[in-house]
Structure 1
Amino acid sequence: MTIPRFVAKERKLTENSSSGNDLGTEIAKELIRQLPIRDATLSAAQQTGEILTDLAKVLHLALAPVQLLAAYQDRFRQFVDRAVRRVPEEKRIAPAPQILGPIVEGIRYEPEGTPIDELFSELLSRSVDSDRAHEAHPSYPIIIRQISSDEAKILSNLKGRRFDYVHTRDYDRKLNLFTGASRVEVDELPRTGLTYPENVQFYMNHLHQLGLAGIFQQGNQEPIFGNEPREQVGVRVRSQYMLTDFGQRFIHACTAGEATNDFS
């Protein structure tokens, strides 16, 4: 039985749409609408081979009815082609529109080849991979749009690793208070490649607010004693830069690497 050809209908949608999110959603809907119907008379292998031979072509066609600037169309087509080609043909499936839409909108403002662009690209690869589509959560493209390139690099560095962070503070025995600013003794987080390494503490606060990563204390605080008289004069706190469970799942889905169910 012949597989139905795609028929593109005109859509009055311009890049000057009132809502950028609407643009991404409409492209996603157009993609899903144009996917051919599976033929129940064909085996699963035939359907995979004939219907999903090249999902990139389907995505390209989905853009045809949408009136976009040529430069953006080229950017999107190249982006999709690169992401889809990572997935073997026999495993390619249609991406969920609630993931594809925000990705389409996100790359509009992101130059090619940046850490953010790579996160979007890997996430799209997950969403079209039948084996790993379950890893692509609809919240992920929204999160990617909220982080900076430096923060993306930090998250990638923390994938499967932790880095020590140790600081001390003075202790006023009379007031029974810790006083003064913290003094950093150990900070092993790599700064190489960061555009603004002086912003690391700000980045970590932001990543913590997003539920992705943080500097988490390990064990109890250690008292620091003076020599004469022997009394506590400070405290030492040992911590580690590390991903949260949610952060591990996020960065695993949005960066290259083998599939795994170990998020402990």
Structure 2
Amino acid sequence: MATETDLATAVATELVKQVPIKEAYHDGLSPAVRETGSALTDFVKTIRLALAPLQFTAALQDRYVKFLDRSVRGIPEERRVLPAPQILGPVLEAIKYEPEETLITEMYNELLSKAFDRQAADGVHPAYAPLIKQLSMDEAIILKSIYAKLDDHYLYQYTLDYNRETNRFSNPKVELDELPRNELRNPNKIQIYMEHLEKLGLASIQQFKNQEPIGSPGAFQTGSRSFARYQLTAFGLEFMKAARPPTT
């Protein structure tokens, strides 16, 4: 019996057979590109026939067909192109691990939908699908929240105590944290989530103005106050443009 990886490969292979990869990204509407719309329109029918000889569960086949149909459906036929295999393959591999109707599944769907669209395909980087796979649900929600507030960031303000004898700052205390928590499953793990998002190169908490010393006028400094905000990196911004599902 074939493996689930074989199924994803078979789906990608069938798409390649319908429209040659080398033709999909040519400038202008070559005959092959003009035919792409009808080929993808008939995808739901043809893919079932192509996969029929493979011994996969009907539920898994149905999920791939439904997912791909949803990705293509909203794109005008004249703009439909074949996604690059390094984008299509990882997406098909990843969705079998995700429940349906979640934010992460929607991100995969939006990413593949843009890859099918000749006007948006250039904005889909091959690294995006593997990045989505590394996100927890809460991290996806945090990225969505930060992206929704690009022009007016969520602020993060904290203080540190200052020890004159050791010349060190310690004991951080958060004074202000505006990041929404109502949708998060584990809001107490925000710091861990942000550390992970920073390692992925997507988002971080960045200081945006100088620290303020804390202490009475004329007295020794007893601490400092830092002013920071949640923000996407330049790469994280492009990632969210490609993967963030449109608001409804």
Q: Same fold (TM over 0.5)?
A: yes
**Residue 244 of structure 1: aligned partner:** 233
How many pairs align?
A: 237
Per-residue Cα deviation, 1:49-74 (whole angstroms, up to 9, x for no partner):
54444444455455445432211111
Q: Could you tell me which of 4, 11, 14 is aligned with 1:27?
A: 11
> How large is the RMSD of aligned CA atoms in angstroms?
2.5
Name the stretch that deviates more: 80-89 or 63-72. 63-72
Unaligned runs of 5+ in 2: 24-29
Alpha-carbon spacing, 1:49–1:116, altered in 2? closer, same or farther (3 Å): closer
**Residue 204 of structure 2: aligned partner:** 214
**Residue 146 of structure 1: aligned partner:** 134
Residue aligned with 1:219, SS: strand
CA distance in 2, matches of 1:148, 1:70: 28
CA distance in 2, matches of 1:69, 1:148: 27
**Residue 170 of structure 1: aligned partner:** 161
**Residue 261 of structure 1: aligned partner:** none
Alpha-carbon spacing, 1:206–1:86, altered in 2? closer, same or farther (3 Å): same
Residue aligned with 2:83, SS: coil
Native 8 Å contact 2:159 2:174 kept in 1 = yes
Alpha-carbon spacing, 1:238–1:36, altered in 2? closer, same or farther (3 Å): closer
Matched, 1:223 2:207: no
Unaligned runs of 5+ in 1: 1-12, 259-264
Alpha-carbon spacing, 1:139–1:46, altered in 2? closer, same or farther (3 Å): closer
Alpha-carbon spacing, 1:98–1:26, altered in 2? closer, same or farther (3 Å): farther
Name the stretch that deviates more: 66-75 or 113-122. 66-75
Native 8 Å contact 2:115 2:124 kept in 1 = yes
CA distance in 2, matches of 1:35, 1:106: 23
CA distance in 1, matches of 2:169, 2:162: 4
CA distance in 1, matches of 2:228, 2:48: 48
**Residue 75 of structure 2: aligned partner:** 87
Query: TM-score when scaled to structure 1?
Result: 0.81
Alpha-carbon spacing, 1:49–1:127, altered in 2? closer, same or farther (3 Å): closer
CA distance in 2, matches of 1:90, 1:151: 36
> By percentage of residues, which structure has more helix?
2
Residue aligned with 1:218, SS: strand
AA at the equivalent of 1:182? P
Residue aligned with 1:232, SS: coil
**Residue 191 of structure 1: aligned partner:** 181
Native 8 Å contact 1:55 1:92 kept in 2 = no
Native 8 Å contact 2:138 2:186 kept in 1 = yes
Query: TM-score when scaled to structure 2?
Result: 0.86
AA at the equivalent of 2:111? L
Name the stretch that deviates more: 59-68 or 85-94. 59-68
Native 8 Å contact 2:161 2:223 kept in 1 = yes
